[in-house]
A and B are shown apart, each in its own frame.
Chain A
């Protein structure tokens, strides 16, 4: 017992904290005896304490469980995404949930403050991964891989302010596809865009648009417009807001808040409000100022080639060269792209979600070199599908349409109308399981037939096998269709075959 008397405020707080802590935490650990008597005593000790305890059952801020209904939707979405990645010949990779802290700290610039650190418990300093791209670069450098086409589906963690309404959480799933390696220009880049289109079409989310731009073109535009180099980053992030704000507002921000000369802002405006197809690329090639800028020319040349390939892939009409696309440009070095859903006016009214982009990516040739001990570069291009946003949209649409989701795949229910038939049910269901048939039974010795049939209807189980005394004597089983309520008698030995026939 600590001596009372003059204690610092903090010491008092600590003392009080100890007293307030649910003693259950200590009690449960100490109950190793576990004899009946001991357990009863413990239970009576726990009860009054628990009601006082201030322990709230919840998941941590910005995270959530997924119920069986939600899992069905998520798995459908992920299956579709993964099936597309596989169709394009990608190998799958997985990395640990946390990395050495030093692996991550240098990579995210200002966002480093959003990384979840693990407590220093005497071992290595660790942090939860912030995305799947940096672990990929680490993997490539670590294993000295020069070429790889991989996909990675996994959770990442960011200590952002969660905005649940926009589907933004602290723990969320990313689906990344990347092609690493030195190849002939723009072929892998085009394939990434093809993949994005296939996935967004396959998910049937409605019309979408992919905006495309290039880091070098943006830099070139800023240079010819007279943006001071030190302001590139700042002006970039203003320009990026053009999808949400008007040009007037963006211009105002650049001039008033970021100290850009008004003439320079106007020149920028002439460029960044442009968007179009390959004709815009050609138009810009002719631009008297821009064609003097080497970087911009490189970027435009690559975009032209890209559009050629996209046309051969049959997706050029879904892609728009948009000079206002800037995105987080920290590690991108070439083409960048972002997919947005095009809402119909009706949808815009119904849906409260405004999720922004649903997929994005670009080329990043310098990242692996940052990990490689000798700075060897491995050029990379890739994409990330925003499944959480997609999931929110699909979930909301399903609610709106009141769609019912089956959360189990059970095909046959084993039932009985009589008492004392548990053993027959157990034998029969084992036969079905051993034949690979998905079957369930009620965990009751003597369930009522009506209860069992109701369960089948609620769970949309298509078939019921009913065993009764009479049938058993004669060697028969009743097979009943839940939907039609029709019953037939089947010989016991033909049951499996008949069930399989009906289910195929």
Chain B
């Protein structure tokens, strides 16, 4: 043991020597000689080296995606991307980290949740917190005045993870945004149409899209008598109405945030309301609210929005909800959030669907923050909360006992007898060259039973069996794994036959 410790110390010292030589820019020969010594010392430590030193895990709040989870993820992304493309969006990508100053000042109180990179002597960097700020930076940097783009990528937040509820520190966002100066509410309506299309296609149950407007909220606070300085904090109390009762919210506003009780009551008259376009019309008539210019603007836009949503056939899924507040830092107009109406729950666990599965809004001022001359590019967009959706889809597949394949292999090339490896290699290569998805076992003389079992476990529908007798006759046995039926197929016809069988719907192999 002492020997080992001494050896480890030598390794450490030698490592430092190497680093030192590099810093001093010593000769290549010298460095490499010392490196060789280091490697030799490490080799002496043997396979034990390094094994005691850490616990095998991913960082807190992050996870690997197993092949099964990847298969689910790809299914979900396919639906989402296909919808984005249907609406004519281009795709972009941005780096995983930004200059720290790009992200500074954009997220309000949430800024403390940003992951910073260590100062290693270069630029100060931070991992991106969302895809919206990078988008705004991209627009300003390239001086773009209009674009319709989607972006699917991971973002990073040093939040308190709640992994059973699909809340991670590293997670995917699927964003769609329309940037540009256009006639009012048309792009906004399209965003809502997209949200509805995606949530319907994913078949995760009934959902509702709540809609509100920043200006309506601000106007409402103003006419109720909320002091300007308390707008933000009262907003975040109101936002909790989807989770707690009005009494509790009122208590927080009065008791914790120092709001006058009468003011709180006035707010209560408004924010507990939700409805369709009739509520919009009702509020347009409201004696107090109709005196407030901002609120009127917001209500006018919402009325127009509802018209368009009706033409889009989705008005019945939309609810004008005055309690919707959200993180309001950069939103300037309409805001929306989709919630599931019947969240699935495992026994004893909190329902997965709690909270929103998609959200967004209009943010006209963000790009202007990046542009050196403050030129504004109005934007509206949405973000799909896929992590929650992954969990829901996974659960649903489990419940339905649907098997999720993790590979797409169509044929296993097998042999019934020994010494047929060469034949298998030749055949599988033929299939690959014809674009067929095929595998073989990496054994010289595998047992037929093992090969068949492999197919059943992996869900491979067909087996091409090479046997000595068949080889002489120039045929291959093609076997359906599901039905266990076998036919002899001429070697030259095999590719065609496999393609024919695997192209049928539901692969009736």
Partner of B93, one of A34, A71, A159: A71
Partner of B64, one of A58, A93, A377: A93
In the assembled complex, B197 has its CB within 8 A of some CB on chain A: yes
Does B95 lie within 8 Å of A94, measured CB to CB? no
Partner of A89, one of B214, B231, B437: B437
Closest partner residue, chain A, to B230 (CB atom): A33
In the assembled complex, A369 has its CB within 8 A of some CB on chain B: yes
In the assembled complex, B57 has its CB within 8 A of some CB on chain A: yes
Q: A38-B228, A66-B93, A86-B407 are in contact. Are A229 and B40 (CB under 8 A)?
A: yes
Does B51 lie within 8 Å of A86, measured CB to CB? no
Q: A50-B374, A64-B95, A434-B313 are in contact. Are A93 and B56 (CB under 8 A)?
A: no
Does B29 lie within 8 Å of A57, measured CB to CB? no
Does B435 lie within 8 Å of A87, measured CB to CB? yes
Chain A residues whose C-beta falls within 8 Å of the C-beta of B106 in the assembled complex: 28
**Stretch in A231-239, A265-273, A290-298, A480-488 touching the partner:** A231-239
In the assembled complex, A226 has its CB within 8 A of some CB on chain B: no
In the assembled complex, B167 has its CB within 8 A of some CB on chain A: no
Q: A119-B117, A138-B56, A230-B40 are in contact. Are A61 and B62 (CB under 8 A)?
A: no
Query: How far, in angstroms, from A139 to B63 measured CA to CA in the complex?
Result: 10
Chain A residues whose C-beta falls within 8 Å of the C-beta of B141 in the assembled complex: 57-59, 65
Does A119 lie within 8 Å of B33, measured CB to CB? no
Does B29 lie within 8 Å of A258, measured CB to CB? yes
In the assembled complex, A123 has its CB within 8 A of some CB on chain B: yes
Does B158 lie within 8 Å of A123, measured CB to CB? yes
Question: Which residues in window 94-150 of A have CB below 8 A to B?
Answer: 94-100, 102-103, 106, 109-110, 113, 116-121, 123-124, 126, 128, 138-139, 141-142, 150
In the assembled complex, B94 has its CB within 8 A of some CB on chain A: yes
Chain B residues whose C-beta falls within 8 Å of the C-beta of A25 in the assembled complex: 101, 104-105
User: What is the predominant secondary structure among interface residues of chain B facing chain A?
Assistant: mixed
Does B108 lie within 8 Å of A32, measured CB to CB? yes
Chain A residues whose C-beta falls within 8 Å of the C-beta of B149 in the assembled complex: 68
Does A116 lie within 8 Å of B117, measured CB to CB? yes
Q: A121-B116, A159-B120 are in contact. Are A34 and B92 (CB under 8 A)?
A: no
Chain A residues whose C-beta falls within 8 Å of the C-beta of B436 in the assembled complex: 87
Partner of A32, one of B49, B232, B408: B232
Chain A residues whose C-beta falls within 8 Å of the C-beta of B101 in the assembled complex: 25, 55
In the assembled complex, B245 has its CB within 8 A of some CB on chain A: no
Chain A residues whose C-beta falls within 8 Å of the C-beta of B119 in the assembled complex: 119
Does A29 lie within 8 Å of B111, measured CB to CB? yes
Partner of A231, one of B33, B118, B142: B33
Chain A residues whose C-beta falls within 8 Å of the C-beta of B36 in the assembled complex: 229-234
Closest partner residue, chain B, to A75 (CB atom): B91
Chain B residues whose C-beta falls within 8 Å of the C-beta of A372 in the assembled complex: 51
Known A126-B59, A375-B48; 13 more pairs at CB < 8 Å: A32-B231, A55-B101, A60-B99, A65-B95, A88-B432, A93-B64, A95-B64, A117-B117, A124-B59, A370-B49, A374-B51, A409-B88, A430-B193
Most chain B CB within 10 A, of A24, A39, A119, A157, is at A119
Partner of B86, one of A92, A234, A439: A439
Does A97 lie within 8 Å of B40, measured CB to CB? no
Closest partner residue, chain B, to A32 (CB atom): B232
Query: How far, in angstroms, from A230 to B57 measured CA to CA in the complex?
Result: 36
Does B58 lie within 8 Å of A46, measured CB to CB? no
Chain B residues whose C-beta falls within 8 Å of the C-beta of A99 in the assembled complex: 58-59
Chain B residues whose C-beta falls within 8 Å of the C-beta of A423 in the assembled complex: 307, 311
In the assembled complex, A90 has its CB within 8 A of some CB on chain B: yes
**Stretch in A12-20, A309-317, A344-352 touching the partner:** A309-317
Query: How far, in angstroms, from A181 to B116 measured CA to CA in the complex?
Result: 38
Chain B residues whose C-beta falls within 8 Å of the C-beta of A408 in the assembled complex: 85, 88-90
Does B67 lie within 8 Å of A57, measured CB to CB? no
Does B86 lie within 8 Å of A438, measured CB to CB? yes
Chain B residues whose C-beta falls within 8 Å of the C-beta of A233 in the assembled complex: 32, 35-36, 39
Chain B residues whose C-beta falls within 8 Å of the C-beta of A86 in the assembled complex: 407-408, 437
In the assembled complex, B97 has its CB within 8 A of some CB on chain A: yes
Residue tally, chain A, CB below 8 Å to B: 126
Closest partner residue, chain A, to B311 (CB atom): A426
Chain A residues whose C-beta falls within 8 Å of the C-beta of B197 in the assembled complex: 433
Chain A residues whose C-beta falls within 8 Å of the C-beta of B478 in the assembled complex: none
Does A89 lie within 8 Å of B438, measured CB to CB? yes
In the assembled complex, B425 has its CB within 8 A of some CB on chain A: yes
Chain B residues whose C-beta falls within 8 Å of the C-beta of A150 in the assembled complex: 67
In the assembled complex, A328 has its CB within 8 A of some CB on chain B: no
Chain A residues whose C-beta falls within 8 Å of the C-beta of B213 in the assembled complex: none
Q: A61-B123, A117-B118, A230-B40 are in contact. Are A96 and B443 (CB under 8 A)?
A: no
In the assembled complex, A373 has its CB within 8 A of some CB on chain B: yes
In the assembled complex, B138 has its CB within 8 A of some CB on chain A: yes
Question: Which residues in window 203-249 of B have CB below 8 A to A?
Answer: 214, 218, 222, 228-229, 231-233, 235
Chain B residues whose C-beta falls within 8 Å of the C-beta of A434 in the assembled complex: 313
Sampled A-B contacts (20; CB under 8 Å): A28-B369, A29-B111, A38-B228, A46-B374, A57-B102, A57-B137, A57-B141, A58-B99, A68-B90, A71-B90, A118-B118, A119-B118, A126-B59, A128-B117, A194-B432, A259-B33, A366-B47, A409-B88, A430-B312, A443-B186
Partner of A96, one of B63, B67, B373: B63
Chain A 424-463 near chain B by CB (<8 Å), digits 1 or 0: 0011001001101111110111000000000000000000
Question: Which residues in window 156-181 of B have CB below 8 A to A?
Answer: 156, 158, 170, 178, 180
In the assembled complex, B490 has its CB within 8 A of some CB on chain A: no
In the assembled complex, A500 has its CB within 8 A of some CB on chain B: no
Chain A residues whose C-beta falls within 8 Å of the C-beta of B458 in the assembled complex: 89
Most chain B CB within 10 A, of A51, A118, A308, A314, is at A118
In the assembled complex, B308 has its CB within 8 A of some CB on chain A: yes
Query: How far, in angstroms, from A96 to B365 measured CA to CA in the complex?
Result: 33
Closest partner residue, chain B, to A138 (CB atom): B56
Does A118 lie within 8 Å of B311, measured CB to CB? no
In the assembled complex, A422 has its CB within 8 A of some CB on chain B: yes
In the assembled complex, B28 has its CB within 8 A of some CB on chain A: yes
Does B407 lie within 8 Å of A90, measured CB to CB? yes
Chain A residues whose C-beta falls within 8 Å of the C-beta of B70 in the assembled complex: 91-94
Chain A residues whose C-beta falls within 8 Å of the C-beta of B233 in the assembled complex: 32
Does A96 lie within 8 Å of B58, measured CB to CB? yes
